[in-house]
Amino acid sequence: MHRPFKSVYQRFVMDKLDYKRYLFVSGVLSVVLLVSVAAFNYFIDPYNLMGNNWTGVYFWNERQLKGREILNYDHQAVLIGSSKTGYVNPDDLECYRFYNASMRGMVPEEIYFFLKKYLRNEKLVLVGFDFYMFNEREFPLITIKDWDDVAYNPLEYLLGISTLKMSKKTLKHWKNHDPIFRMHENGQFDYPGSKGKPLPARTRQEKKKYRDIINGLVEHHYGDFVLSRQRMEYVRKLKELFENREIPYAVFINPLSSDVLAALRHVDAYPVFLKWRKDMRTIFPNIYDFSSGPYSDPKLFHSDDPYHYTNEAGKEFLNRIIRDFCENKQADGCFIKPRFSDCNEYGALTCKCMVSLR
């Protein structure tokens, strides 16, 4: 039995109206959801990029902040590298007022593009490299053409799922009254770990935990090591950048704890490590190689973290580099002037400075 034409037509119209209603309701709900997410992220502002954060910043996103901060911070020199240098207080460095532009997990292409965008006429730039940075298997190459490719635009920040996750975590930390590890005005970020007990006082359990940390570092940072040739090219481009802009610079290889070095010697990446150091010296004949030597003493590293040296250790070897470049210092009544130069065990010129009234 055939349905009347009018009945078929009415159903067609009703289906069409239901479809439009569905689209309308879905559209409204989507807008409400997006506005709610944006409002929540704006209200919490987990990275304080909008200047609205009121809970305290529990998760510093230095890649979003340091471009703005380095322009606002009055400085004469820059320290840049990974978290190893990031935990060093630049106020403890001699001769110049430093900004610490280091970022956790920073890799050579990021160093290059950040400095390309934000270098002005600094009197000195210190760049710290680590072997692990060049393991493209563990740390895939970041494909950017400019530092702006890294930064969020406001819509990305307000509507981003990652921002929403950080907003929720921030609220949870605030409710629990958890401690805040700050990023300071000078770019340094607080070390989040515990200094732990002195090495001789470790319990058997603490020693096992320490060995597990080293084994994990070696497995992830040095296991199946794939040396990135493209990152070596970025190192060469970085040298060209400094020389073209006529900015004094020093490149150094960060100290490795003797415990980490001992573990590294037993993996396939060790010959690659030796060749990498040689290649770095070919590019930078005056490189400061602290990867092994007196600064590898485990006592100079956090006792529950054999990968990060202490602020005191960083201050000591960085000031050693700075004295090679320091013509004079006239601040707070202090005047430093090189008396003569000498060659130290690292193959770099060392100015032995005379310090007068402070």
Q: Are 270 and 317 in contact (CB under 8 A)?
A: no
Q: What is the pLDDT, as a whole number, of residue 169?
A: 82
Q: What is the pLDDT of residues 82-110, one digit of tens each?
A: 999 999 999 999 999 999 999 999 999 99
Phi, psi angles (nearest 5°) of residue 318: -70, -40
Angstrom distances, CA of residue 331 to CA of 95, 234, 334, 338, 358: 8, 36, 5, 16, 9
Question: Alpha-carbon distance 263 to 250, whole Å?
Answer: 28
290-293: list long-range contacts, CB under 8 Å, 24+ apart: 290/252, 290/253, 290/254, 290/255, 290/317, 290/346, 291/131, 291/253, 291/254, 291/255, 291/256, 291/261, 292/255, 292/256, 292/258, 292/261, 293/255, 293/345, 293/346
Residue listed under structure tokens 């819509």: 155
What DSSP character marks residue 2?
A: P
Give me 266's structure tokens.
């037993």
Q: What is the pLDDT, as a whole number, of residue 331?
A: 47
Question: Alpha-carbon distance 293 to 303, whole Å?
Answer: 18
pTM of the predicted protein model? 0.79
Q: What is the pLDDT of residues 39-76, one digit of tens each?
A: 887 877 777 777 777 777 766 678 888 988 999 999 99
Residue type, 205: Q
What residues pair up with 227 in beta bridges, in sequence order?
135
Domains observed in the chain: 70-151+184-355 (3.40.50.1110)
Reduced to 3 states (helix: H, G, I; strand: E, B; else coil), residue 83 is helix
Q: What residue ranges of the chain have pLDDT lower than 50?
A: 198, 330-358
Question: Alpha-carbon distance 349 to 345, whole Å?
Answer: 10
Q: What is the pLDDT, as a whole number, of residue 194?
A: 60
Terminal CA-CA length for the chain: 107
Q: What is the pLDDT, as a whole number, of residue 23?
A: 72
Q: What is the pLDDT, as a whole number, of residue 337?
A: 36
Phi, psi angles (nearest 5°) of residue 79: -110, 130
